[in-house]
Structure formats: C-alpha cells, structure tokens
Structure 1
Amino acid sequence: MKSKLSLLLVIFTFYNTLVIGQTASGKIEGAVVDEKLAALPFASIVLTNINDTTSAIGVTADENGSFSFDKVTNGSYIVAVSMVGYQKAVSEVFTITNNFIRIPTLQLASTPQNLSEVTISAKKPFIEQQIDKTVINVASSITSTGSSVLQVLEKSPGITVNAHQEEIELAGKSTPLILIDGRPTYLSQADLFMLLKNTPSENIEKIELITNPSSKYDASGNSGIINIIFKKGSRPGTNGSVTMSGSVITHGYGRGDIIGNVNHGVGKINLFASLNGMEGKGFSKTIYDRIITNGSDQTRFDQVYGNIHWVKNYGYRVGIDYNISKSTSVGAKVNGAFNEVHTLSRYSDTKLYDAQLTLKQSYYTTAATRNAQNNFNANFNLRHSTKKGMEITFDTDYLSYIGKRINSLTTSFFKPDGSQDGPPEAVRNTMPLLIRIGVTKLDFVKKFEKFSFEGGLKSSLVKADNEMLYESLENQWFVDSLRSDRFIYKENINAAYLSFQGPLTSRTTLQLGLRLEHTRLSGYSVTLKKRNDQNYVRPFPTLFLSHELNATNLLTCSYGYRIDRPNYQLLNPFESYLDPYTTLRGNPVLKPQFTHNIQLTHLLRGYITTTLAYSVVRDLIVKEYPYIVTEEQKMYLTPENMRFQRNLNVTISAPISILPWWIMQVNLSGQMNRYRAYYKYEVFNVRQSNFTFALTNALNLGKDWTAEVSGSYFSRRIYGLIQSRPSGFINFGVQKSFLHNRMFLKFAGQDIFWTNKFVGSTKFADMNFTVTSLGVSQVFTISFSYKFGNSNISKEKPSNNHVEELQKRASGGI
C-alpha cells in the first residue's frame, strides 16, 4: 500500500512540475454588448497568448456583460467572444507588462437568419469543475428530462448509486451529507433514497458536490456534501415555467409528471412558489442464490423477490424574501411533500435444494404493502450586513415527518411433489411514524482588508417515536409481543465553529477552521427495556492551503476530520420480516464512524481538475451486514461496524472541445480500497482497486436543435462484504427549441440498453451467496416545457447549510 501511495504521489508531483510556468502579475477587464449597445450576459470569452495558443483561458461574462482575467502572465494576447445568435468578435492584439488593461468594449453583430452554419451554445455546461466543488447544472442536460434527482446523481462525476442497498457513494466513500437548499433533510437512508427517486429533476437548478467541506458545514458526511438547490427566481416582474412529461420504462410500465414554477418580484418583495405531481407504475426484482453449510449438511436457496407498485408524489414550495433595507433582508418559506407507495403485486418465490441439487422444499410468499408519508418544513431566515465588513445570518427550521407503514404477508409451504406442506403462515405489521425536528443557527463573517473571520453556533433537537404492532394468524389474529416494540429516540447536537482565511504570500492563501460538536442521544426499546445513551464532545479541524503556481496553475491541499452518526432507523431494533428465512433488523448499539480526509487538487487553466485524495475511516458502518444462523438456515441483515476502511482516490475531470459544435466532458476516477472487519471471530481483510469512467457529449446541431449522448462505466468494486460485478449505462437525448428559447420539446432515453444492473457476491466463512437486483433504470421520456414572463431569472439568495444531517437520518416512513 505504501509503495502504491508513494508512486501516485510521485506521478502527481511530476505532473504538476511539468505545468509550472512564468509568474503572473497582470489583470484584464472588458465588456460585451450587442448592436444596440445592450449588455450581453453569459457570453463565452477566451483569452489566448498569441505566442502560445495552447494556453487559452476561458470565462463567461456576468449578468452585466462584464468579464475579467486576473494575474495574467506577461505577454501579447487577444480576446475572442462568441454567443448563440451572434457573429464571433476578436479584439486587437494587446500586451500585458505587470499592469492593468481594460480593452475596448467588444460589440457582437447578430447572425443573419439565413446563415446555416452551426454556432456554439452559451448555456452553462452540464458539469462545471471549480476548485472547491463540482457543480452539476441540471437544466443543461437533455437526458435529465423526465428523470429523477437520483438519476441525475447517478450520471454525475464521482458518484456511484447502489440501488440494491439504497446507498450513494461520493469519491469512493459512502454516506455523503445530502443537503436540500443548503439544509439537511433529516431522513433515514431509505426515506431519503425514496425522496430523491421521486423528485423530478425539472425542479432542480443545480447540484453541488463538495468532497472536503470547511468547518462552517456540519461535520457529518464521511465522503463530503451533496447540496441540491431548487429553482427560484428573483427578477422583477412575473416569470416561471411549466413542464409536462410522460415516460415509458422497462416492461411497458410508465409515469407522468407535471411541474410548475412561478416567481413574482415587485419593489422590495419577491414571492416564489412551485408545485409538482407524479404518478406512475414501476417494478423491482431481486434474485438470491445462497448456500448454507451446517457440518456435512448443505442447503441451497434459490430465491426471487419481485413487486409491481404504484407510486404517488406531490410536493409544494412557497416562500417570500423581503429587503428591509440595502443591508437587511428577511425570508420565510414552507415546503412539503406527500409520498405513497402501494404494491399491486409483491411476492417471494423460494426453493430449497440439498447438496445433490434435489428439491427439499419450496415456499411462496405474497404480500400487500402500503407506505405513506407526509413531510413538512418551515424556515425563517434573516441576514444583516454592516458598513464595517460584518455580516450576520440567522436561520431557524421546524420539520415534521408523519407516516404509516402497513405490511401483510402470507406464506404457503410445499413438498417436493408440489403438494401443500401444512397450513399457510400469515403475519401482518403496522408501524406509524412521528418525527419532529427543530434547528436554529447563527453565523457571522467579519471581513478585513486582507483576511476574514467566520464563526457560528448551531443547535438541533430531534424526537422520534416508532411503534410496531406485529400480529400473527392462528384461527384469529393475535399480537406477537416478542416481535412488537416501541422505539423512542431523542437527540440533541450543539455545535460551534470558527475559521480564519487570509493570504500567507501574494500567491498563497490559508484557511484554518475548528468545529466542536456536543452530541447527546438516547434510544429506548420499550418492549426489550433496553436503553442506549451516548454523550460525547468531538473537535473537527479543517485546513485549506491554496497556492497559485502561475496564471494557469492552482494547487490546493486540504484536510478534514468528519463523523457519521447512525440514522435512527439503523438504531431501531425492529425486525422486518421478508420471508421465513430472511429478516432485516436494526442495531441499537451501532457506533458512529470517524473519517480523516486529505486532498490535493490541481486546477489547470481554470477547467482541467486533477484530485488526489486519501482517507481513513474508523468503525465503518455497513448498512446490511449479513449474518448466517446455520442451525436455523436463516440470514439476518443488520447494520454493523467494520474495523476500518482506507481509500486512495485519483480523479481527473476536463471539458474537451472536439469541434465548434461538439463539446465533450471527460471524468475518470480510480481508487484503491482496503477493508478490515470481524465476522464470527474470523478476520475479513480485503484489498480492492476499481475505476469509473464517465463521458458526456453536448452537440449543437444548428437551427435550434441540440443533442446529448452520455455514458458511464463502473468496474468491479466492494460494498461492505459484497463484491459487485462491472456495470454501466448509456443515455441519449435530443431537444428542439421554439419561440426564441421559450418553448422546448425533448426526447430522452436513459440506460437505453438496460445494462445498469447490480450483481454482487460474497464467499467468506459460512457466507456464500450471489444477489442480482433489477429495477427502473431504462426510461424513455418525451417532455414539453414553456417559460413565461421575464426569462432573465437570477440566482436564489444563498442559504445556510444547517439542516441536513438530521433530516438525512430521520427514520421510518416509506
């Protein structure tokens, strides 16, 4: 391991040494206008050294048509400007010699209507690589049309979605902190997965991927932060959009979506609202092939789990921002959602064979399931800035989750000849859910001439009450007291942080941060009369060091210490009955996991990013750790702590302009993992390497036609004790715009060859099984969108990242 790490460090250092050039010291500013001298926002600007045409630097003009290039190496340059609907313009040659230059305003002439040549689109790229994060501009991807947020994440660089275990990985590590508008969701893993699966991508403006967050963020999130930002406008007047789509998925099932967004700004007040609705029919199928050995006796299980279900999702968001003065603003918003999944057909078909593959017994389970949940979130925020460089923000949130889960299962047993073997076994359970959460946060930023201080306080309180009523049928229904239980969970986290940022030299910047979090939690099983109390304080330091090598090379080194607390559902000791031989159950003594993250990032010419990251995770949480009880021939899936995980990751991301009308985004990630755990007193020690390759092609076909072709490949990798086989997918889409880019018609296909399937296996100690999971990944969608009113919608007022980790961990529900 040390030799491999040393080799990668040498290669990385050598790579950066090759690109070090001259010292930068100049600055260039300019502006872009049209024929009527009106500003042209978001035009594409390229600065090129006439003596080194390979060192071009690109930027985008701001909303006022202005642009700038900082710390430019001495030399002679030209500036080229392009934008859809306009002819390209190029500046005169000018020279930088340690000075500031403002070039004459560049004026673009409209393209004649009969011009047939293809032009470059000025919309934002689907993937923007910034020095501290990766930004996914959802609306820029045609193949995102009619898809869910989860499907957008699935094709984002550095993200792997494991649908079988309902797990999301970022940079090769699980359990990222998922924020919605900078706030936690406080949902359990299963509920969060369902939320992302049912939220239409048309509601999303962008997604931010932050692999090593600063101390102002919650310390939760082993692999970093995924921040999902919803659309909201703030321009004067009334504007918005309506989108309708219909989809056909594998086996002929389908779904329909309708989404509406509206914004109204007048004077100091800005109002915004959105509504969305979705209903559809889907399916899932899981196949287990497992062998259980007990001495000389061997039993083989061939199991198939399948369900056809109907899904409903309705959501709303309403809010107001009010600018009291130039320095003070307040805002409030409420949002909620209703999710329901009920099965139209659910079954489990199992056959038991002996070592000679002779049928011993079979059983068939039918089930009826209904999961429903109402989510509600209210937020109030205040921001105030002073003339002395101080900014204060205050946020408070209230969240509630109310739901109910109903399951009814009937199992019939059969002899080898097909005749029934005894009476059927019938069970049913009901689990209501009630979670209430309160969060308050206060932050400040004090800016001086060359440095700044930032700090804040946060307090969160969570109360969860889950009660399961488990009943069995023997002539009549009776309560099974051994399986019924009530689990009460309380959690209080108080945090404080302080950070400093300032220059060490003219080209080197330092940021130091420290976050303290005090955690108090209590989980109590009423039936088992077992209590798990924890009370601890942990410091979480962060360090960022950024050094500008020259005008085209920026190097950043960062360190962070993070925690992942088990979500409430994992701590809940309830047992979920899948069939007579397979049970899911929680672990009330599950410990949090702690992670050390070190990251080195190189940014070349503002758009080519290379990252080398190393992390060590202690007490790694595995969500479904299989335990085999050989005497009973049963398998229990329970969350458990592995001893540690070590992860080494290298990622390269770059946009490549193949032709003027063809831009390709390339993302390549390779990693080495080492896991260590104990299973029934045996040591599980494994080393494994894997890689991910993702490619997105954006094509401007001319005459308001655009297209996109993208794909990803995932090599063999490890999830806990399970090793998966390679997988991948290919997406495509085409779009036609009308009415000066106000109306759009799109057709998109996701996973068009239905290759994105999970197949995993393990063979260790008494575990020997293979699992195959199939679901809704192949989707074909046609979509119609219309934008009305003022189309120049600016960015949403930034929100504080303070309500995420608890929402991610709230249990129960769907």
Structure 2
Amino acid sequence: MKTLASLISIILLSITNNYAQNSLTGNIQTSNQSPVDFAEIYLLKSNGAIAKQSYTSTDGSFTIDSIKEATYLVQIYSLGKKHFDKEIFINKPIDLGTVIIEQDTQLEEIVVKTNKKVFERKADRTVFNIENSVHAINNDAVELLKLTPGLQVDNQSIKLIGKNELRVMINDKFVQLNGEELIQYLKSLPSNSIKKIEVITTPPAKYEAEGDSGLINIVLKENRANAWNNSISTGYKQGRKGTYRLSNVFSYNKGKVSIKSSFSTALGKSQINENATIYYPEKLWDGQSIRFDNNNNIAGNFQLDYQLNNKTSIGIQYMGNVYDPKSDDTDHITVNNYVDNSVQNIYTNAKNTGVNNSHAVNLHLTHNIDTLGTKLNSDLDYFNYTNDQTRLFNTKTEGVNNIGDKLLIASTTGNQNIENISAKVDIEQPLNWMNLSYGIKTSFVTTKNKNNFYDLTNGHAVEDIKQKDNFQYNENTQAIYASANKKINDKWTVQAGLRLENTQTKGYSVTYETESKKNYTKLFPTLYISHTLNDDNTFILNYNRRIRRPAFWELNPFQWYVSAYAIASGNPKLEPSYTNKVELSHTYKNKLTTTLTYSKADNMFSQYPTIDKELNRQIYLRDNIMNSTYYSLSVNYMYNRLPWLQSQLNVNAFYLENKLIKDVSINFKDGGAVFFSTNNTIYFNTEKSLSAQVDFTYESKVKANLWELDPSFKLGVGVKYSMLDNKLNMSIYADDIFRSYAKTVYTTTNDIRQKYKTDYDQRYINVGISYSFGNAKIKVKEHQGGNTDEKSRK
C-alpha cells in the first residue's frame, strides 16, 4: 500500500510541471451579451491532435495557461456546434477579447429536431433511450429494466441472460441495495426522471470490482443551462390489481446556484400466483399460493450545488424512500398418494407487516486542477437502511376423516439495520501521450439483524429461544485504482487498468455463539483493445476480473419460516466468488454487432433447496457449491433504413458447464438456451409526435445449474402521442398480452423432483400522461454518492 500511495503522490506532483508562460484568454457571449458557460475551447496541433482544452465559466470567460510555443488551430464549440475556427501562433499571452456566438437558434434546433434512437448498441454497452420511448410516462425503473434487451427481471433480482445478478448504478454511482430491497427502491424512481439505461458487460477499473456479471447504469435527465423546468407525470397501471402513480421533478440553475428536487408516490397492489409440486416417494404434494403485495411508497430527492469559482463547485444531496411492505398470502397444499386419493389438506394464511425506509446524504466537491482538463472529484457519504418485518401465519393440517389434524400458529419478527460511511477521491488527468484516471476509496459498513420466533398455538406467545437471533456483521474495505487510455493511431486504442481492494469482515451470531472473521486483499485487472480495420469493421477485445460478495442478509444463519413446511436460512461462512471474463466483439457498419464471451467463475455461492423426506419439509440453504464455465454468442442488429421505423433484433445463445465443489445431493445440469427479442418503434408522421412500440421476447427451454425452465414468450404493444412542442405527452402500453411469460421451473434434490410455477402479474395495461413547463432561458448537474457500492448488497 505504501508503494501504491507513493505512486499516487508522484503522479499528483507531475501535474505541477512548469511550461512556458504562454496563455490564451477570452470571453464568450451571445448576441444579446449574455455569457455562455460550459463552452468548449480546443487547441489542436498540426496533426489534429488535441494539445489543450478548457471550458468557459459562468461569466463566459476562459483561460488556458502553460502553452508551448507553436501554431495551433483554435476551435470553440457550444451545444455541439462549432462557432470559432482560426489558426493562431502562440508565443506570448494572447487575449481573444469577446467572441460573439449565436446560441439561441442552435438551442432551438437541438430541442425540436434531435431524436435519438430508442435502442442503441455501442462498443461496450446496450443503450435504452427512455425519453423517446412509449415507456417514458407513468412507469418506474423496474418496469423499464424489464423492457431492456438482454435483461431478466423479476420481483427478486435483475440478471443478464444466463448470468448472476447485475449491480445497479445511478449516474455512474452504485446503489447500495440488492435483491427485493433493490427492486423496491427502483420502483420509487419515476420514468420521467430517467434519460437512458445502459447495460455494461465489461466495466473498467474505475468502478468497484463487485458484480461478476456486469453493471447497469441508469442515467438521469440533464437540464439546460440558465433554465428552470418542472415535469409532472401521473397514470394508472392495471394488472390483476391496480396501482396509481404520481411524480414531479423540478430543476433550477442560475448563476452559481443549482437546485434539483423530485418527489414520487405510488398507491396500489399486485398479485403473485405461485404453484409448487413436490414428488415425494410415496406422496404427491401439490401447492397453490396467492400473495397480494402492497405497492405503496413515497420517495424524495433534493440536491443543492454551488459554484465557488470557475474551478471549484461543492454540493449536498439527500435521497429518501419509505415503502410499506405489507402483504397477505394464502397457500393450499393437497397431499395425494399415487393412486390419486387425497390424504391431507394443508392450509396456510399469513400477514406480513413492517417498516422499510432508506436515507442517504452525500457531500461532494469537484475541482478543475488545471486548464489541461485535470479534474478532482471527491465524495463523503452516509447511508442508513431499516427493514423491520413481522410475519404472522397459521398452518392447519387436515387429515382424511379428521385423522391427524394439526395446527400451528406462529409469528416471526425480523429487524435489520444497515449503516455505511464512505469516502472516495477520483482524479482524471489527460496527458499529451495518454489519459490517466486514478483514485482511492474507503468504506465502513455495519449491519445488525434481530430475529424472534413466537409459538401462538395455545393462545399466548411462547418464545422459542433456539429461533431467537442477534446477528451483527461488519465489513471495511479500502480500494485504490489506476487506469490509462492510449490512442496509438487512427486504428488502435488500448486501455488498461488495475484495482486493488483490501477487505476485513467480522460476523457474530449471539444465538449460535459463532464468530467469523476474514481479511483478504485482491487485485482486479482490466484490459481493452480496439482495432478499426476500416470504416465498416471494428473489433474489440476485453478482459476483466471481478468479485461477487454475499449480500449482508445472506450471511445471517437465522431460520425464516415461510410456513410449517418451508424454511430458509443464511450462512455466515459464505465466501466471495471470483470471475475472469474475456469478450471479443465485431461491429459492422455500426449496425451489426457479434459478440463471443467466455467466463470462468470459481467458488460460486447459491441458494438451493433440500427435502426432508421424514418431515416432508423444504429447507432452502446457501453455500459455496460450484465452479462454473460460461460460453455465449450474441448478435445484435439495428435497422433504421426507413425513416418511419427503428428496429432492434437481438439473439443470445449461451451454454453453461458446472462442477460441484461441495458434497451436496443436487442434480446439476450442463446446458444452455437461446433468447430472442425485437424492439420496434414506428412513427406515423414526419414530426414523430405520434409513434407506436411493438416488443417481442422469446426464451427457449433452459437447462442451467439446478434448474430446467419451460419455453416462454411475451408481446407488448403501445402508442405515444406528443403535443404542444413535446410538453404534453400521453401513452398507453400493454405487456405480456397473452399471459405467456410465467415461469415454470424444475429441479431435483435429494432424489426428489420438484416443479415450481410463478406468475408475477406481468400482464398489464399502463396509461400515463405528463406535462413539462419552465423557462428555457435561465443545467443542473446530477450527482450520486460515493458509497453506493455498499448499498447494492443489502
């Protein structure tokens, strides 16, 4: 660590090297003498390479110092348009004076005429541009992720096809939750605040190494300079049950002050249907369950930024979310012998109540160190998450002719609290011969879990000491990284990075009197090589190594009773798993992209079911049980030759090989599947104010790991209409029209075959309306904290 710290110090000192005292100054204004901030000034060498670059401050002024004596081509850009292009010999301080540009006309052109593709495929990611989509109104982030090509989303996880869960970022910053809690958090993020969703399969060293399958980056909307804007959206979504939504986003930027706030709320329910069939040696258990989940939540965000001077800005942000986790479920299990005679009926009724909320505070600073583009970003974060839940259930077992009747009434309680403090510093430093980025981060996490079990069968509460637990887990991580990007020539570009993470963990269970400590240091390299063969063909080869750590709750050994016949528990001895991945892609004419992927994951952990044959009980355990090898071929084609049609076709085929590393009775399967999706946007007029969306997804039979899945498909159709210069928008969208996307899953453990079918109420119709208003004459920067990596593992 000392050596790495010294290396950072040496690099920091390098930015203070002295050059000749030549400079270029000036002031950019519009024709009505208004200053133009964030205009781009470039000094180009004779070969076209960038020698220096800078940006104007809020008063329109700029200064570029330490310029080597030479002749440069000076260019000035604003809002994507070049306004100044002149060759100047610089051998002394030169003042361009006031440069007048016509900005308003260009701004109007950008607002009205620019219309990005709904779906785009780039070298390292797939991009879903929400703003231009039917789905931009009366939706949340979860529904948008379900519609993003290459992803599989349910009520418990967000996955890349054939892979493990993905990490989620907002504006390049990690969200510190996962599983069901992450899903609930993203449901509070309204679609009218989202600009686009990026699926990144091979993240660079800049990002935390957590997440073996890649990353999702949700990019929030930006705002125009010298403007205020307000957008309000409302609507209704009807599946088996209905949900109302309302959201409002406000932004203001004038002079040195930038403010952004948002509010969203939802009120309603959803219905989940689940069937489970277990083939015991002498009996067949056939269960049907219906659960009603609340969708009630309130979320808010407030951000204030202040420009101290033309180099430094500071800011503070608060994000909060309150969710009502109430749900009711009923379960009926019919027990038959194999001559189809009924033996037992088992009925379970349950109510779940509790409190679920999160609060995050971020302090951030951005400082432009010099006019070469060297920039320092720092974040200090505090995050708190509370999840208190109580499950009251009764299970009644009725035998034939009332023989062997049993009753269990019980209550389980779980209280979880997570606190995280983190700090990080990142530096971006462009040099003449390469671009560098490097930084450090430290994070301190404490999670506390208290659980109790009470037997209420006899009319009064009897505490079961064996089911009482008080589990605390601490995790501290220190990280340092460096990355370099070099464009060798017009055909070759190389980027290499290295991240070092040192982690200390401690878990202690009061009930089981167990303590587990770990301390490990790991390196995570990344490498990207890009070769442009000609104007039509580009090849990219990349490699990275990543880690997947257990979620905090997965380490808790407490047993959670779903019913008298189903129990789930965590494992404090879970170890991280590591994945090495190589990916080769070819892009033809920026339309057809073919990607080959190979990855090897070691020491993978997973939940797996076991069956107690004597007690007829399902037990869900977690352990590091396998090594996995993954092969995939994906083909993506973008069609836009017709002015009224934008279409994306995606085919993904994968094959998975697994090797057990623990002595468990599981029937593992090597196998794969083929996935196909097409997303089509149809425009009915030249202004593109009236459009339709047609989406189709097909998944073949899947054989992978513990599971076999039956084929499934879904069709979605919608219409969007924009009026009043795109200020008023209305949409309607229906998904899974034929209710054909429910999952049927098979597995075998302890030689007992099981079948599960889950319908997450994915057939729905969504109607929404949004209206935006404001003053375009008077940019709010979005910022997320530096501790969001830890949030995602809740």
Give the alignment's TM-score, normalised by structure 1. Answer: 0.81
Are residues 720 and 146 of structure 1, via their aligned partners in 2, closer, same or farther at CA, if it must alter by over 3 Å? farther
Are residues 363 and 678 of structure 1, via their aligned partners in 2, closer, same or farther at CA, if it must alter by over 3 Å? farther
Instruction: Give the 3-state SS of the residue equivalent to 1:190 in structure 2.
Output: helix
1:247 to 237, 251, 254: 237
Partner of 1:170: 160
Shift of 1:784: 1.1
2:634 corresponds to 1:644: no
Partner of 2:123: 131
Q: Distance in 2 between matches of 1:162 and 1:475?
A: 38
* Mapping for residues 355-374 of structure 1, pairs under 5 Å: 355-374=338-357
2:755 corresponds to 1:770: yes
Instruction: Give the 3-state SS of the residue equivalent to 1:319 in structure 2.
Output: strand
Shift of 1:681: 5.0
CA contact (8 A) 1:232 1:263 kept: no
CA contact (8 A) 1:723 1:761 kept: yes
Q: Distance in 1 between matches of 2:729 and 2:507?
A: 52
Partner of 2:690: 705
Partner of 1:180: 170
CA contact (8 A) 1:145 1:748 kept: no
Q: Distance in 1 between matches of 2:524 and 2:313?
A: 32
Q: Distance in 2 between matches of 1:585 and 1:511?
A: 43
Q: Distance in 1 between matches of 2:422 and 2:357?
A: 19
Instruction: Give the 3-state SS of the residue equivalent to 1:192 in structure 2.
Output: helix
What is the alpha-carbon root mean square deviation over aligned residues? 2.5
Shift of 1:501: 1.6
Which amino acid counterpart does residue 270 of structure 1 have in structure 2?
Answer: S
Shift of 1:560: 0.2
Which amino acid counterpart does residue 349 of structure 1 have in structure 2?
Answer: H
Partner of 2:266: 278
CA contact (8 A) 1:462 1:490 kept: yes
Shift of 1:505: 4.1
Are residues 220 and 432 of structure 1, via their aligned partners in 2, closer, same or farther at CA, if it must alter by over 3 Å? same
1:302 to 286, 305, 309: 286
Shift of 1:518: 0.6
Shift of 1:336: 0.5
Q: Distance in 2 between matches of 1:384 and 1:778?
A: 49
Q: Distance in 2 between matches of 1:306 and 1:636?
A: 21
Which amino acid counterpart does residue 230 of structure 1 have in structure 2?
Answer: L
Q: Distance in 1 between matches of 2:631 and 2:113?
A: 37
Are residues 147 and 387 of structure 1, via their aligned partners in 2, closer, same or farther at CA, if it must alter by over 3 Å? closer
Q: Distance in 2 between matches of 1:738 and 1:414?
A: 62
Partner of 1:727: 712
Shift of 1:412: 1.4
Shift of 1:356: 2.8
Shift of 1:438: 0.9
CA contact (8 A) 1:135 1:207 kept: yes
2:734 corresponds to 1:746: no
Partner of 1:553: 537
CA contact (8 A) 1:143 1:732 kept: no
1:229 to 219, 233, 250: 219
Partner of 1:572: 556
The Cα offsets for residues 105-127 of structure 1, whole Å up to 9 and x where unpaired, read as xx99x99xxxxxxxx98422222
Shift of 1:187: 1.9
* Mapping for residues 407-426 of structure 1, pairs under 5 Å: 407-417=391-401, 419=402, 421-422=404-405, 424-426=407-409
Which amino acid counterpart does residue 662 of structure 1 have in structure 2?
Answer: L
Q: Which deviates the most, 650-659 or 279-288? A: 650-659
Shift of 1:707: 1.2
Q: Distance in 1 between matches of 2:493 and 2:778?
A: 34
Structure 2 spans left out of the alignment, 5+ residues? 1-35, 37-76, 84-104
1:64 to 73, 79, 85: 79
1:783 to 759, 768, 779: 768
Instruction: Give the 3-state SS of the residue equivalent to 1:387 in structure 2.
Output: coil
Shift of 1:231: 3.1
Q: Distance in 2 between matches of 1:736 and 1:806?
A: 40
CA contact (8 A) 2:228 2:253 kept: yes
Higher relative contact order, structure no. (Cα contacts within 8 Å, ≥ 6 residues apart): 1
CA contact (8 A) 2:130 2:136 kept: yes
CA contact (8 A) 2:630 2:655 kept: yes
Give the alignment's TM-score, normalised by structure 2. Answer: 0.83
* Mapping for residues 680-719 of structure 1, pairs under 5 Å: 680-681=663-664, 684-702=667-685, 704-718=689-703
Instruction: Give the 3-state SS of the residue equivalent to 1:172 in structure 2.
Output: coil
Instruction: Give the 3-state SS of the residue equivalent to 1:809 in structure 2.
Output: coil
Which amino acid counterpart does residue 122 of structure 2 have in structure 1?
Answer: Q
Instruction: Give the 3-state SS of the residue equivalent to 1:146 in structure 2.
Output: coil
* Mapping for residues 76-225 of structure 1, pairs under 5 Å: 122-143=114-135, 145-163=137-155, 166-225=156-215
2:374 to 385, 390, 399: 390
CA contact (8 A) 2:675 2:697 kept: yes
Structure 1 spans left out of the alignment, 5+ residues? 1-38, 40-61, 69-106, 112-119
2:513 to 529, 550, 554: 529
Q: Distance in 1 between matches of 2:459 and 2:645?
A: 70
Partner of 2:61: none
Q: Number of aligned pairs? A: 692
Instruction: Give the 3-state SS of the residue equivalent to 1:134 in structure 2.
Output: strand
Q: Distance in 2 between matches of 1:719 and 1:640?
A: 18
The Cα offsets for residues 333-380 of structure 1, whole Å up to 9 and x where unpaired, read as 11110011212x411111222233322222111111113211111111
Which amino acid counterpart does residue 179 of structure 2 have in structure 1?
Answer: Q
Q: Distance in 1 between matches of 2:390 and 2:177?
A: 19
CA contact (8 A) 1:235 1:790 kept: no
Are residues 137 and 667 of structure 1, via their aligned partners in 2, closer, same or farther at CA, if it must alter by over 3 Å? same
Shift of 1:683: 7.1
CA contact (8 A) 2:591 2:639 kept: no
Q: Distance in 1 between matches of 2:579 and 2:504?
A: 20
Are residues 66 and 368 of structure 1, via their aligned partners in 2, closer, same or farther at CA, if it must alter by over 3 Å? same
Partner of 2:605: 621
Are residues 375 and 354 of structure 1, via their aligned partners in 2, closer, same or farther at CA, if it must alter by over 3 Å? same
Determine what percentage of the aligned residue pairs are the same residue: 25
The Cα offsets for residues 10-39 of structure 1, whole Å up to 9 and x where unpaired, read as xxxxxxxxxxxxxxxxxxxxxxxxxxxxx9
* Mapping for residues 628-667 of structure 1, pairs under 5 Å: 628-657=611-640, 659-667=642-650
Partner of 1:20: none
